[in-house]
Structure 1
Amino acid sequence: MSDENNHNLDGDTEGATSASAGKTILVADDESHILHVVSLKLRNAGFRVVTARDGQEAFEMAQQEHPDLIITDYHMPQLSGLELCRKLKQDPATQNIPAIMLTARGYHLEPHDTEQSGILRMLSKPFSPRHLLATVNEVLANAA
């Protein structure tokens, strides 16, 4: 995926903000079009983006990259997004990484699941890329 494309999916241009400067976001989803849309939106906003196509790959990437935020799908091969977040929460090196969970419309997690796994927000698919970016900025601002 190229970083040369400077337009975003909403048709306007945007540059790096102080919230995005130097921040790395891990995006984990087994649907390639979701990875593409989310990565493009975040890169255009100035974030460094790393991607994973399943929960196990995401776990390994999180341990290597120590991202500032994880955006993960709930339903993925190897490990679900919830299992991924729980596993990361058990590791002292990754336990403080906040997460945003992408879910199918109408799917909800129990409050104890989100509390025990570091999931700070949930977004239902389909979602607006602009709303996702606003949620990312809000979570990162609150985590600072």
Structure 2
Amino acid sequence: MGDHQQLLLVDDEPGLREAVQAYLEDSGFTVHTASNASDGWAMLQHLSPDLIITDVMMPQVDGYQFLKQLREDPRFQTLPVVFLTARGMTSDRIQGYQAGCDAYLPKPFDPDELVAIVENLLTRRTTTSTTAEGDMPDIADMARQIAEIKALLTQRGAIPQTPAPIKLDFTPREQSVLELVAEGLMNKEIARRLETSVRNVEKYVSRLFSKTGTNSRTELVRYALEHGLAK
């Protein structure tokens, strides 16, 4: 999974930075490091990493400020970011997710868990392939999926329903997104309907893919129809 994938690791603790870098490189990733957010930002001007791992508690510019700077730049709006922090309180994690981080790993952590998180985020990014605006860059492919969804909806009554193989617990917002995907709406339309950001819609769609084991909107809608998960 790690072949030629570029990671940027930002942490002001030399020992942890070197240990994490070594473990990630042993897992096949190319890892660039910075000791603070300012240096990390400077490196981003000539690097194009596939994912950023950053500490939260850093002097001068902390992880939250660094993430805000990333999300305000169109080049990095959809770049996956993992927070590493000694602060594991629920309120801190909520603040991290609200700031736009993709995963939050409290220290001390198992390096294998970090590798699993990184691989999952990179796989998800490849699967969803989003642009800075938040929708799929291949508009033709998106249009094809929407057309397939519309076709599925016309034959809704002909699709046999069976109980889902496992109990799926969707949050109310995930259920709302699923219903709108099943109507054939694109991410921007869903964001407008739910009065949220396109990035948040992407996250909900990715979670729906993960929970249902599907890889495309068409597969997701077919799964939902087959198991009575969407009206």
Class of the TM-score when normalised by the shorter of the 2 chains? 0.7 to 0.9
Structure 1 residue 62, shift from structure 2 partner: 2.1
Residue in 1 that maps onto 2:22: 40
CA contact (8 A) 2:96 2:104 kept: no
CA contact (8 A) 2:8 2:53 kept: yes
What are the within-5 Å matches in structure 2 for residues 1-144 of structure 1?
Answer: 19-108=1-90, 109=92, 111=94, 113-117=96-100, 119-144=101-126
- 1:28-85 deviations in Å (ceiling 9; x for gaps): 0000011111100111111111000011111111232121000000011231111111
CA contact (8 A) 2:10 2:55 kept: yes
- 1:102-128 deviations in Å (ceiling 9; x for gaps): 1114334364652443x1110010111
CA distance in 1, matches of 2:89, 2:13: 18
CA distance in 1, matches of 2:44, 2:86: 23
Structure 1 residue 95, shift from structure 2 partner: 1.7
Question: Looking at both structures, which has the greater relative contact order when contacts are Cα pairs under 8 Å and sequence separation is at least 6?
Answer: 1
Unaligned runs of 5+ in 1: 1-18
Unaligned runs of 5+ in 2: 127-231
The alignment of Structure 1 onto Structure 2 pairs a total of residues equal to 125
- After superposition, the CA RMSD in angstroms is 1.6
Structure holding more helix per residue: 2
CA contact (8 A) 1:25 1:47 kept: yes
Structure 1 length-normalised TM? 0.80
Q: Please give the secondary structure, in 1, of the residue aligned with 2:45.
A: helix
Q: Please give the secondary structure, in 1, of the residue aligned with 2:124.
A: helix
CA spacing shift, 1:124–1:111, aligned 2, 3 Å: closer
Structure holding more strand per residue: 1
CA spacing shift, 1:124–1:113, aligned 2, 3 Å: closer
| Structure with max Cα Rg | 2
Structure 2 length-normalised TM? 0.51
Q: Please give the secondary structure, in 2, of the residue aligned with 1:64.
A: coil
